Chains A and B, each alone.
Chain A
Amino acid sequence: LNAAVRRAPRQHVRFLPAPAGGDGGATGLVARSPRRVLRTGPDVVSVAVRGPRFRRLKIGAGHRLDTKASGVFVLGIGHGNKLLTDLYNCHLTKVYTVGGLFGKATDDFSDTGKLVEKTTFDHITREKLERILAVIQGTNHKALLMHSNIDMKTQEAYELAVKGLIRPMGKSPPIITAIRCLQFALPEFQLEIHCLHETQQYLRKIVHEIGLELKSSAVCIQVRRIRDGVFTLDDALLRTQWNLQSIQNAIWDCQLKVKTELEKTLG
């Protein structure tokens, strides 16, 4: 980064107080000529004089992703940290693909934990699973409306509800805005979950509770975030792409998206 061509140094114009005139009160300001900068050539400034441009980089992380999960993880560099705070305040939903396995129950709800119990699961059908998912979605929808702190009796609340834009804009417990079953092949199943203010452990707990509701038990075998607000899997950089050029391109591509989203939500 330091080897890249850098901008020309800015011209500084300093206003210095002029030597005081006869009449006491007003002191005028006079522009002095720009500060002279040591130059060794027409447009090149010696590095030895000014030093490396970047000695430290401020990098901030977006929403947390724990060690057993994978997926999109948003980082902000420099000015991006401030944008990260703004994005956090937008309270956009995150989308996860959660894989589950019927028949086992462990203490930390994932398949690497200590086994607590094994149960049968032959009675489970896709229809039963979908019914449970519908109940979960319904109760969470109600929680969504209640935590959004909008007065339900106003016309604006009605219009937002029609567009589906009601969501809590402050602190709230984890809420699932949408959940559906992508794949179902006993004993495994895969869900797509759209949620707000959640943690990955909460998602694993949801899988465990789905197992309990179906009179069996389930553990979570995979949690993968496929979307975090405006950032999707397509924008994400792979391990092989962690170099300056790709990072710069990625930042450049996302700039517009982030700007429009911030303007739309925060005004």
Chain B
Amino acid sequence: EAAAMWGALRGARRRPPALRRGLAKAAGPGSVRHRREAEEAAPVFQYAGKAAKRKDRVFVWGFCYSGALGVPSFVKPDVGWKKPRRIQPTPYRLETEEKISSAACGYGFTLLSSKTTDITKVWGMGLNKDSQLGFQRSRRDRTKGYEYVLEPSPIPLPLEKPQQTRVLQVSCGRAHSLILTDSEGVFTMGNNSYGQCGRNVVEDETYSESHLIHQLKEFDSRVVQVVCGQDHSLFRTKKGAVYACGWGADGQTGLGHYDITSVPTKLNGDIAGVNIIQVSSYGDCCLAVSDEGDVFGWGNSEYLQLASVTETTQVNVPRHLPFKIGKIKEAACGGTGNIVLTEEGNVFVWGYGILGKGPNLIETAVPEMIPPSLFGWSDFNPDIRVAHVRCGLGHFAALTNRGELFVWGKNLRGCLGTGRMEDHYFPWRV
């Protein structure tokens, strides 16, 4: 049957050459019918699988030497003649065993977590000099731990019910990490010199190769979001309260003083009684968004982040930022600049640095809107909206509802991921 089919095909193709008169070609009904019959008889191929669902993927890019990208061949190449890669300038696919639901970048290390019920729920890679990735037992010497972890390695958590508890979110700071679970509170690891892990500061404690993972459970309700600043930690609970601990010299703990705090304490100020739905921090400045669309800030204001309400450069009590830009949905703090996303899908930036409105805008205390046409909005595509915004040290990222990622800001060691080493003064698609 197959042979007959192929025969028909071949027969349709090789017709005996007709008598040619100049350029005239005899296109009789015979050839068209043959061709149609051959087309009907041709086999149909199927390339799409039955349950062809999209796989969620993790991509990494940036500075490689610390191993934070999780690809060992970047740091220790497989072949002897290759040099270690310093920067990965474009997104590189990272193979993971499980579907990763939360990822966080710290200063030279990364945490990945999955909502699985398997025993291994969190993986870490990169710098581990303060045990921010837990204790990674060295294979050469069982008593020592690794200082640099080059590929995603499981982090053992002291869970009571390891096959039921799920890890919801992870967050990384300069030298400490926070892991949020759904029923067993928050686990903290890493440097605790300022109490950022939520436990009392021990004098001359050695943090490297430490097995200590602290568990925090004492909050007014279940913790739903954890955020790490550089050396402080913020916890947001289901009831809308915010707790903080850690370094406070810039007022980033928001507790009304500039000392360190080693026990998570509830914040008051302008957010007392307000239902906070999102908190964000990166360096020493913090922002919180309430359910009514207001934004509150505290912490460092040396880069005009809070200059709209006060001239002081350190604010240690949460203050309401009276911006008239619409209802705010999401906020993100960067090292020197801040970004908010409104309900309409508009993006506003303020602070210092490359803010995204060309090289002329270097600093502003009042939020400036980034024109939506830079994210692909036009009369042709009026449905494009920005869905999420994030910040890094000197750069910003925005994710649109069509799944496109736009980055802009200072391109420090390839952190933008555009493949070019230059800074981008307006949103650029990755």
Interface residues of A (CB under 8 A from B): 103-104, 114-115, 117-120, 123, 131, 134, 137-138, 141-142, 145, 152-155, 157-159, 161-164, 178, 180, 194, 215-216
Contact = CB atoms under 8 A, between A and B. Distances in A.
A120 B44 contact: yes
B241 interface: no
Interface of B: 13, 35, 38-39, 42-48, 52, 357-360, 371, 373-374, 376, 378, 380-381, 402-404, 422-426, 428-429
19 contacts: A120-B44, A120-B46, A120-B48, A131-B402, A134-B403, A134-B404, A142-B428, A142-B429, A152-B425, A152-B428, A154-B358, A155-B358, A158-B425, A158-B426, A161-B426, A162-B374, A215-B48, A216-B47, A216-B48
Contacts of B422: 152-153
Contact of B423 (A115, A123, A153): A153
B104 to A, nearest CB: 26
B45 A131 contact: no
Nearest to A180: B380
B420 to A, nearest CB: 9
A215 B47 contact: yes
A141 B52 contact: no
Given A123-B52, A164-B378, A155 B429 contact: no
B42 A118 contact: yes
A156 to B, nearest CB: 9
Contacts of A194: 380
A116 B357 CA distance: 50
B376 A141 contact: yes
Contacts of A153: 359, 422-423, 425
A131 B54 CA distance: 12
A104 B44 CA distance: 9
Task: Determine chain B's interface SS by DSSP, over half rule.
Answer: loop
A155 B378 contact: no
Given A161-B373, A178-B380, 7 more contacts: A115-B38, A119-B47, A120-B46, A120-B47, A142-B429, A152-B425, A162-B373
Chain A facing B: main interface SS: mixed
A117 B46 CA distance: 10
A142 B39 CA distance: 39
Contacts of A142: 428-429
Given A115-B38, A141-B429, A152-B422, A158 B359 contact: yes
B44 A119 contact: yes
Contact of B45 (A120, A134, A163, A164): A120
A210 to B, nearest CB: 14
Nearest to B358: A158
Nearest to A118: B44
A164 B375 CA distance: 11
B402 A134 contact: yes
A179 B305 CA distance: 40
Contacts of A134: 402-404
A117 B376 contact: no
A137 B376 contact: yes
Contact of A152 (B42, B424, B429): B424
Given A115-B38, A134-B402, A178-B378, A155 B44 contact: no
Contact of A119 (B35, B45, B359, B374): B45
A80 B376 CA distance: 36
A138 B425 contact: no
A119 B46 contact: yes
Contacts of A157: 358, 425-426
A117 B38 CA distance: 11
A161 B39 contact: no
Nearest to B426: A158
A138 B113 CA distance: 30
A163 B373 contact: yes
Nearest to B378: A164
Contacts of B378: 164, 178
B373 to A, nearest CB: 6
A51 to B, nearest CB: 38
